[in-house]
Structure 1
């Protein structure tokens, strides 16, 4: 009888097409040479495609400085792109339009797929910690006396399995940390700058439609970093609840040997399994508040220096 795929595999399968659009292959099955060539080709095309946008935006920014544009004009988002030809002629406009649309698709899919996969992994590991907590709490039945449990060997066997389960979860968190730690740091740093500049543009703008565009962008920028911190905080808190489970598992009914082993598990689980931004900051709701505080400090400085500038 064929085994039913795990829920986490079903979830990844649903968003696999979005990873393919960015040139990333997340198949768990062995990859053929053709699969590798396809993913590499799409990745290289997207890399060159986006670097054209980046180069055009850098040229626009440098030309703005050379033309002595104000700070407010230089920080209008999104940055414009300067092409080496007239992009508004019918000869080039369809290709320019296609180029910009696909650039947006690649960026949105690249950010969305990676973030949603992060949320999925954090949720799945958090649920596993909750299940582990439940099993530890019900490890020792309430039908024996201290040191005289009738099925002590069965309990010890189950306890060993729970320890292996806990070790697997700890390894999963470390693997998730390895994958996302650097991109999380980039998200933390860029979010402070984006929230600051977007808030400044909201106050500097006079057109209602223009201002509302930046208000929505400000909200989504804050929401993205909030979700990263929220799921990181969820994972951290669920990992520490294993310690409470050991305390509530009626350890006083167990023998001395099993009691000492339970104490070791409790001590280890008091050290939370956490995700970090390349060891600079933990990924939790406290970090989210720090990001908002940093963005507000930068915003207040810009408002003081350039708030009255034309």
Structure 2
């Protein structure tokens, strides 16, 4: 049964391996283990944040020297997304023991869940696995498109410029200040270009990889809630009710229910702080990226930011969507209890079922550090805020264009 979780984790582990994060391997705080298993991450961390600091420095310098609103907003969403990537990846590393414990508990719950030969249960597992696979594939496709567009747009514009004027003006994907060197010098430009492309890959991988673990855990939890619902609906099936047999089944189901709810708590503890930062910055990123799409004159860069906009929307939507799925599936346990044949048993047994039904009405939910629930209502609020910021930016930008 644990094949659902383990199979879905393979692709994410493969991505993380190349940035130096090992999800399922216990790492000790010894010099030997840090050098062996953390050196690659430290190198990539320094590599990425060289560009992140350079982006922030460019924005500050641009504001001081009167750069246009379009130029300033060009780099703001990119630098913000870099910070999001850092926080998400560090949240996994700093909660390494909690991540291992979560994986252990998910496997334990899955291994102790009997789906037997029931077509309904097998269908539930297959649906969860296929939907998760489709989500990860779609997210990967958008990430690849975004990486390709940002990586090739400067080269395309350089080729067009050379065709028109017969000379090459070196461009880079991002506007970054590098200390001690001129990145547009022919001697340093190739290194700066490769540096920025790899940084882009690191950002996309860290954000999507961390989110894919979240999706995988939520899918497993939701599947377990749905399997529990099937068992609860069928807890009373015999014409001749056996009190002892019922008590044994009921005890096992309540223990399973408690274990699944505890899984939600484990996911909450790992992701709650990074989710809060993600929520706070999402409106800002969506607003600025949308503004760039409408304001930038170069089609190549506009397409790059359009892909970035779609990626940002999909990232925060899926985060809220899976949080909403966990809430909904946990509350549906109450409905499953009502659908059982509770009316055929004695009053004492019916009261036991009623207690579980009342408990299940309180949803197991994920939050952004208790600031907001992670569900689709939160997504609509983020979009509403982003639209307000976007309208304000367009209003500010209109007089400067007039």
Match of 2:14 among 12, 17, 38: 17
**Paired residue secondary structure (1:82):** coil
The answer on whether the counterparts of 1:142 and 1:250 sit within 8 Å (CA) in structure 2 is no
**Paired residue secondary structure (1:200):** helix
Match of 1:118 among 208, 211, 214: 214
Partner of 1:93: 189
Number of residue pairs matched by the alignment: 302
Match of 1:292 among 383, 387, 391: 383
Matched, 1:143 2:239: yes
Matched, 1:173 2:264: yes
**TM-score normalised by length of structure 2:** 0.70
Moved more, 248-257 or 22-31: 22-31
Match of 2:51 among 29, 50, 53: 53
Question: Where does the alignment leave 5 or more consecutive residues of structure 2 unmatched?
Answer: 79-173
Match of 1:102 among 198, 201, 204: 198
Partner of 2:336: 245
**Paired residue secondary structure (1:22):** coil
Partner of 1:8: 5
The verdict on how the C-alpha distance between 1:207 and 1:25 changes in structure 2, with shifts beyond 3 A counting, is closer
Q: 1:90 deviation in Å?
A: 4.4
Partners of 2:191 and 2:302 in 1: CA distance:
30
Partner of 2:103: none
The verdict on how the C-alpha distance between 1:131 and 1:93 changes in structure 2, with shifts beyond 3 A counting, is same
Partners of 1:52 and 1:231 in 2: CA distance:
33
Residues 231-290 of structure 1, C-alpha deviations (whole Å, 9 max, x = no match): 111111111000011111111222333222211111110001111111111111111111
Q: 1:95 deviation in Å?
A: 2.9
Moved more, 262-271 or 93-102: 93-102
The answer on whether the counterparts of 2:27 and 2:33 sit within 8 Å (CA) in structure 1 is no
Partners of 1:232 and 1:245 in 2: CA distance:
20
Residues 10-48 of structure 1, C-alpha deviations (whole Å, 9 max, x = no match): 322332122223332212568796554323212222221
Partners of 2:337 and 2:25 in 1: CA distance:
35
Partner of 2:226: 130
Match of 2:250 among 134, 138, 159: 159
Match of 2:323 among 227, 232, 244: 232
Matched, 1:262 2:357: no
**Paired residue secondary structure (1:196):** helix
Structure with the larger helix share: 2
Partner of 1:191: 282
Partner of 1:303: 394
The verdict on how the C-alpha distance between 1:162 and 1:155 changes in structure 2, with shifts beyond 3 A counting, is same
Partners of 1:5 and 1:137 in 2: CA distance:
23
How big is the alpha-carbon RMSD for the aligned residues of Structure 1 and Structure 2? Answer: 2.1
**TM-score normalised by length of structure 1:** 0.90
Partners of 1:304 and 1:13 in 2: CA distance:
47
Matched, 1:82 2:177: yes
Question: Where does the alignment leave 5 or more consecutive residues of structure 1 unmatched?
Answer: none
Partner of 1:279: 370
